[in-house]
Each structure stands twice: as C-alpha cells, then as structure tokens.
A and B are shown apart, each in its own frame.
Chain A
Amino acid sequence: MAVERFPVEASHILMFARAIGDENPVYTDPASPEAAAFGGVIAPPTFTMAASQFDPDHVLRPKPGEPWFGSAREPSGAEVTRTGKLHAEQHFEYHRPLVAGEVLTATERAGETWQKESKRGGTLSFEELYIDYTNVETGELVVTARFVTVIPSQVPTQG
C-alpha cells in the first residue's frame, strides 16, 4: 500500500474509536482536557490501518464501474483469485503520538519471507511488509507498521 496523502482527521478518529469500542475522550472529544494535553485528539494505536481509505487502489473497497466480489444479485459478483492469504501478525512502533490535523504519507518496503511446516495448514509461506507513516510537512517518521501474512499450502483445519 502506497498512500501519498493520509489526512488524520478528528471525525475519522472518532468513528474508528467507536468501531473498536474505545470511547476514551483523548480520541473522541477535542474539547476534553485529555485531548488538550496533546493539542488535539490523538489516534488510537491501530488507527494507521485506516490509511487504506486513502489508497486509490485498495482492493477491499468496491469502486464505481468495477466488479465487486461480494454478493448482490448473485452470491458473488466477480471471480476472485483466492490467494488464501491470512493476516498472521501485526506490529507497530510508535515514534510519537499521532495527532489529528497531521497529514501522513505511507510508503512500503519489503521484509523477510520464510516457510514453516504445520500439521494444520501444510507448508506455511510467511511474508513480511513494512509501512512507514511519515508526516508530509516535517518528514518526521511517526509510526512504523510491520505486517506478517501467511499463505498455507492447504486449507487449515478448524482447531
């Protein structure tokens, strides 16, 4: 995911905070003393995931004029290439709090790849991806995210 401009806005943070069930005033109320201590509402620790709203090519969002793989007239609207990719791990490093009003850019860089044998999923192919979220004005690195995805060679049995 490469995002040129990810505006971090108070109303978006409010919606995100509600969505994770955390209505701490430092996220939801710009007039609170908690938010005032930071000069505005700050973002919850996992908020940078919402940068995908600003990724023009985000594949997990329906787009006008393009087939969407969810149900409509039919149970599925498009043939999807099933990669079977699963989100295995997610890590964040916080260089400082992220405050509403900032504009970030998200740039990605590849990490390691490795394989592991498992009883449930056969050969597991892991892939690591880093995303750096940088303030566009100051060039300051604010958050580093590390995504680990896994593709099992067979459908994992429920366990």
Chain B
Amino acid sequence: MALSAASLQVGDSRSDVVLDNVSRTQIVMYAGASGDYNPLHSDEVYVTQVAGYPTVFAHGMLSMGATGRVLTDWVGNGRLKSYGVRFVNQVWPGDTLTATATVDAIREEGGQHYADFTVVTVNQDDKPVVTGTATAIVDP
C-alpha cells in the first residue's frame, strides 16, 4: 500500500531483520546475480591465504540491497526517488543485520509530497554496517 504524508510524523521509524545469520551461500547468490565475482566474497582459499582476511565477507551492495527492503516495504513499490548509503563496516558470514528507517522530513514540492528518511543497518553487536538516506514519493 502506498504511504500518505498525513499518516506520517517526523521521527516515525520501522525496523526489520533484513538478513538473518548471513550464509556464505547467500553471498555466492549475490555474486551470481550481480556479476561481482570478486574472490574476496566467495573464495576462502584466496581470501585467507592471499588477501589476508579471516574469511570471506559480503559485498557492500548485498547489505545495501537487503537494507532497501525496510524502505520499500514501508513506502510501497516503485516509490523511491533516491537512496544512498555509506559502507561503514564489513559484514561477515553469521552476521544478522537489522535495518531501521526513520522519517526525517515530510515536505511538498511542486504539488508532490515527499518523505525523507535516514536509514541505518546494524549487525548483531549493534555496530553500523551501512548508514544512509532515502526520499520517497508519498500520497498527500
């Protein structure tokens, strides 16, 4: 359902677990679908023996993609005007990510209503992994 400006208040927020116990297979699925086959994300031998990391880690874009669900489930399908994030920490197999979107502003511009959001996704230790903003079209 499309969201309306009248039903929103600055400070309203929604949280959702967007990835639960991230599996190496989930990371491989993202590599296959996106075309980013960087061995850092799927190749345990390369990543531990050559790149020097403890194990493989998720693509930043997997976290951003999963985080998008907290926005689109709230504002409705096809309603985002912009969505941007910074990648602030890595996501490892076994992590559980919780995304939270919060209404930052509700505004009208050229007869169109918009809601601006801040978004932050944290891991199970409450450490942020992506932080960002989004804007969606809302009904009056």
**Chain A interfacial positions (CB closer than 8 Å to B):** 12, 15-16, 18-22, 24, 26, 34, 37-38, 42, 44-46, 49-53, 55, 58, 60-62, 69-71, 75-76, 86-94, 96-97, 146
Contact = CB atoms under 8 A, between A and B. Distances in A.
Taking each of B36, B60, B81, which has the highest tally of chain A beta carbons within 10 Å of its own beta carbon?
B36
B124 interface: no
A16 B77 contact: no
Interface in B50-67: 50, 60-62, 64-66
Nearest to B86: A89
B87 A50 contact: no
Taking each of B34, B37, B46, B73, which has the highest tally of chain A beta carbons within 10 Å of its own beta carbon?
B34
Contact of B66 (A20, A52, A61): A20
Contact of B45 (A16, A71, A88, A91): A71
B18 interface: yes
A75 B35 contact: no
B33 A15 contact: yes
Interface of B: 18-19, 26, 29-30, 32-39, 42-43, 45-46, 49-50, 60-62, 64-66, 68-69, 71-73, 77-78, 80-87
Contacts of B69: 20-22, 24
A32 B34 CA distance: 24
B33 A75 contact: no
30 contacts: A12-B33, A18-B29, A19-B26, A19-B33, A19-B34, A21-B69, A24-B73, A26-B77, A44-B72, A45-B65, A45-B72, A46-B61, A46-B65, A46-B68, A49-B35, A50-B35, A60-B38, A70-B42, A71-B49, A75-B45, A75-B46, A87-B60, A89-B84, A90-B61, A91-B84, A92-B80, A92-B83, A92-B84, A93-B82, A97-B78
Given A42-B78, A45-B80, A91-B82, A20 B68 contact: yes
B68 A69 contact: no
Given A22-B65, A90-B61, A45 B18 contact: no
A88 B84 CA distance: 11
Leading 9 A-B pairs by shortest Cβ distance: A91-B84, A70-B39, A20-B65, A97-B78, A71-B45, A53-B35, A19-B33, A52-B35, A75-B49
A49 B29 CA distance: 14
Nearest to B42: A70
Contacts of B49: 71, 75-76
